[in-house]
A and B are shown apart, each in its own frame.
Chain A
């Protein structure tokens, strides 16, 4: 018998959890909220990935077209992707025509396995990043989510997107190729409703995650989104934003985070101390703020130390 690393890990965890393979009865029930003509938002939990939420923490969007629905971000697992596919078919009476993966992170991308790869589209950079990091994500997701992940494989989107308008079944979505949250971040503008689907370039009342962040590029992309006329914005995580608050809030968090960590390095603090820094009261409503600050310390602090601490070799 060949036992893969992730199979072994999943088995070991299943054996030690009360929700083992035999008793696992979890099922996803994604809920679609209409946010315009032929467009629905499927909200993720504003939490960290965990067994209790099955990893369903990212927002997804369904758009109706004459050719069949478009799905933006198929979620964390094959089973979630299947549930989303069924939901889209129920809403529109047609099977999905196209699935868009906004970026590599598994809470957004790993549900792609529920669909024919020939209808799954992503930026070329996202395909490269998935090839590089997908296996590692897979190990971590199987370990955390165990049975929720059954049948889930690393996504291999079959279609590469290029910037510009894309017409499908009478609907026009504008493809924007940006970066900063990851090396390749897809945003989509649904022209008929003026809905900007921002992926994880924008978080709303939920703290931004930075595992692959390039903060300068991210700010640049936020400026590009802000200067794209739109009526409402779907963030990667958090509630729909009809007021342009979410772009500003994401920018405010990133600016605060970077300066706070740079000040911490310049003040002689170590990583655990930086993770305990006070979070400004203006972020009181931002969910998962402490959790993401501590993750960001892990992602960014050694880099800032290498930049800011002077050489003292003798």
Chain B
């Protein structure tokens, strides 16, 4: 698949095409791909750069296959969607997250293929996109190197193993889930794209808390952290699906008592 096809394919999945949209605002990061992504992702919706969206990344990309990103938009009210993307990644969008009951917070790891802005675009109920992010320097190889489990050859033995847990901190419940999956990008010779493409979280009562579309630029063995307001639900059902139609599921239960204190 050519780069431009991928860009268009990804973009088409996540947003209305711009018709006669106003030009997006000037990018404080000066990215060569900003206009392209802004038009495809946001269409004619209003866009603002907003410090209320906190995108936390390490200052160096020590491992470009597993680059952690935390997006915290809890300072904004009425968040309906969070799109995490790297402008210059061959698969720009990593996750498209709808926090239908969870807090507007998501932590995960992505692949980096070169120096790129890493951004979150957070859409509020009024339709406005609130955008924040920063550049990260990376040498490359995140998307175009085979996953570690492909190299080791043991990926099929562990495919779909789900690990996780839930922690109550007195106000909220924090939920973590990891799924063993090669997350093949389709950019490595002789390995077709194969990735987890959808994940949902529901509470004990069956209420949907989070829906997420997941792309091949999420790191191998994808890991996600969610925050669910309140401490009412003792168990959370996680359901995931991959691009070959396989389904994976698990139930994370709140540990009795508080999380172990962190050592000072």
Contact = CB atoms under 8 A, between A and B. Distances in A.
B59 interface: yes
A295 interface: yes
Contacts of B251: 312, 314
A191 interface: no
30 contacts: A143-B139, A260-B263, A263-B260, A263-B261, A263-B262, A264-B262, A266-B260, A268-B165, A268-B167, A270-B108, A271-B58, A271-B109, A272-B58, A272-B70, A272-B107, A291-B59, A294-B59, A294-B62, A298-B62, A309-B163, A309-B164, A311-B162, A311-B250, A312-B162, A312-B163, A312-B177, A312-B250, A312-B253, A313-B160, A314-B237
Contact of A298 (B66, B177, B260): B66
B100 interface: no
Nearest to B221: A302
A312 B109 contact: no
A140 B139 contact: yes
Counting chain B residues whose Cβ lies within 8 A of the other chain, the interface size class is: 35 or more
Interface residues of A, number: 37
B223 interface: yes
A204 to B, nearest CB: 23
Contacts, number: 113
Of the listed residues A263, A277, A314, the one surrounded by the most CB atoms of chain B closer than 10 A to its CB is A314
Interface in B168-191: 174-178
A261 to B, nearest CB: 10
Interface of A: 9, 139-140, 143, 211, 256, 259-260, 263-264, 266-268, 270-273, 275-278, 280, 291, 294-295, 297-299, 302, 305-306, 309-314
Contact of B58 (A260, A275, A313): A275
B56 interface: yes
B250 A314 contact: yes
Contacts of A309: 163-165, 176, 178
B224 to A, nearest CB: 9
Interface string B75-112: 00000000000000000000000000000000111000
B260 A270 contact: no
B162 A272 contact: no
Interface string B105-121: 00111000000000000
Contacts of B250: 311-314
Contacts of B263: 256, 259-260, 263
Given A9-B139, A264-B262, 14 more contacts: A256-B263, A266-B259, A267-B260, A270-B107, A275-B58, A275-B68, A277-B262, A291-B59, A294-B62, A299-B62, A302-B66, A311-B161, A312-B165, A313-B162
B202 to A, nearest CB: 12
